[in-house]
Structure 1
Amino acid sequence: MYRQALVDHVSSSSFTKEFTTYTIPKEDGQSLYPFVFNDMMGLEKGDGVLVDDVKLALRGHMRDDYKFNRQSKLSEDDPFYNKNPSTNDKVHVLVLVIDANTVSMMKDEIVFRDIRREASDLGIPQVAIFTKIDEACPEIKKDLKNVYKVQSLEQKMEQFSATLGIPVNCIFPVKNYHKEINLNSDIDSLILSALKHIIQCGDDFINLKKSNERLTCFNKV
């Protein structure tokens, strides 16, 4: 279990206040897996991250530890503004994380779509993760293996897909570690499956960029 990203189960507003990059160490403790997670403030209406800040982060202009400001976006003269982002600074996959219990109450679909359009303009693939599926669906709480058999969850995924346009096969349901203090293979299988698909999307994005660069060079010759 990874507990570096702090959470709050009491407040309804986003607990994340700074742009933070998380790396995952390998079992040997000497090296890291070749991917990172960039955690951002949530999109809570009136108390969440500014859409313009998300767009800057997608393009790699946001440095680690930038503290989000609801009153103004990151400016070019700010020390946390990265003027010359490298490929590693840029986002390769946009992941929308949403509580499965709140799908029917979504009110910020216009904001989500605005961010998706920006990501699409950059060619960045987009996926969604449904969390707390066991709380949203009693059948899953009884047996996590029922996750793809429960009609109510399927309906939530289809509703979310219809609202935001993300295909159902790009929406991954997971159960959060909440009460558990030891690893559980059923919980892990869903989390690792989602992670595998996210990494594959990132690989496809990078490979397509490289392919386009080679094609451009060929055309110039």
Structure 2
Amino acid sequence: LSNYTKILNVQENDEGVLFSYCRKSTILTTPWREIKWGNNDEPLQYMKNFQPQNKRAKAIRVLLYGPVGVGKSSFITSVNSILQGRMTNKALASATTSDQSFTKVYQTYKIKKEGRGDFYPFVFNDIMGLEDGVGRGVRTDDIILALKGHVKDGYKFSSSSSLSAGDSGYKRFPSLSDRVHVLVCVYSANAPQMNSSVLKKMKEIREAASDLGIPQLAILTHIDAACGETEKNLKNVYRSKYLKKKMADFSSSLGIPMNCILPVKNYSSETYLDSDIDALILSALKLMIDFGDDYTDT
């Protein structure tokens, strides 16, 4: 009876006792978090005008990490599509569910602005996904080196060995721009309970980032697949009881505050941009940039 709130009526006939139930509401009457829907001109203009406070930082560097198949590459592609004003395929993303990472190489993704040769002053780094067990997926040591700016673009991740000083992919003297300015955990709202092995790795990465003073956020993807009310209408995202609980559980397990967890839907089957999808992604993107900008200015 978990989906029902109370018995409305009891009737008895020849077939036995009949019960009538009142189904629980799966959405809240008012949203628990506010977001502007319908007009994305303001956040888009903010992105166009943004410049890092610290002139030594060429761009705010955002590092995405998380388990395999949660939508890290798809998020980068979605951001690129929104800022280009059309569907793009900036970061390759696997269309199939797998327990092995599709991303193998450490790569910086820049996003073009209007005008030839000009880029937004923020970049994304995608990494190999975290996998269950020892010797599988990206190694936490490599992510920690990336946080410090020691991993060169093009470095190919290895599950069996970590990058070390002297390797061709190791950057000995990283600049401020090479270092990560905001760390973003990506997790799927449609995923089952997180494996303890993966959770342990994520906590190790979080602790290392905290020691370095790097701000941290999380994005919860696949919110449409996880919740029928959100699938019907994306604007129900902050009215969905299920998604609120999912975010609270995620916050409790990983230690990321609720106000630092942003639910999003990446572009997947769509062939045209959607203002509601854009609104959620732009809201998350602005927080990433602002957090990273504050870090570079300290």
Q: Same fold (TM over 0.5)?
A: yes
Aligned pairs for 1:110-189 (under 5 A) are 110-189=200-279
Aligned pairs for 1:30-69 (under 5 A) are 30-46=117-133, 47-69=136-158
* CA displacement at 1:175 relative to structure 2: 0.6
CA distances 1:81-140 after superposition (whole Å, capped 9, x unpaired):
000000000000001111111152343221111101100010001110111100011100
Cα separation, 2, equivalents of 1:122 and 1:49: 20
| Higher percent of residues as helix | 1
Q: Which residue of 2 aligns with 1:102?
A: 191
- Secondary structure of the residue aligned to 1:120 is helix
Identity %: 54
Cα separation, 1, equivalents of 2:169 and 2:291: 28
* CA displacement at 1:28 relative to structure 2: 2.2
CA distances 1:34-53 after superposition (whole Å, capped 9, x unpaired):
01001101111143100000
* CA displacement at 1:9 relative to structure 2: 2.4
Decide whether the 8 Å contact of 1:133 with 1:173 is kept in 2. Answer: yes
Q: Which residue of 2 aligns with 1:214?
A: none
Q: Which residue of 1 aligns with 2:167?
A: 78
CA distances 1:45-86 after superposition (whole Å, capped 9, x unpaired):
143100000000000000001000111100211111000000
What are structure 1's unaligned runs of at least 5 residues? Answer: 209-221
Decide whether the 8 Å contact of 2:132 with 2:195 is kept in 1. Answer: no
Cα separation, 1, equivalents of 2:113 and 2:294: 23
The count of corresponding residues between Structure 1 and Structure 2 is 208
Cα separation, 2, equivalents of 1:129 and 1:105: 15
Decide whether the 8 Å contact of 1:93 with 1:198 is kept in 2. Answer: yes
Q: Which residue of 1 aligns with 2:113?
A: 26
TM-score between the two structures when normalised by the length of structure 1: 0.91
Cα separation, 2, equivalents of 1:29 and 1:103: 44
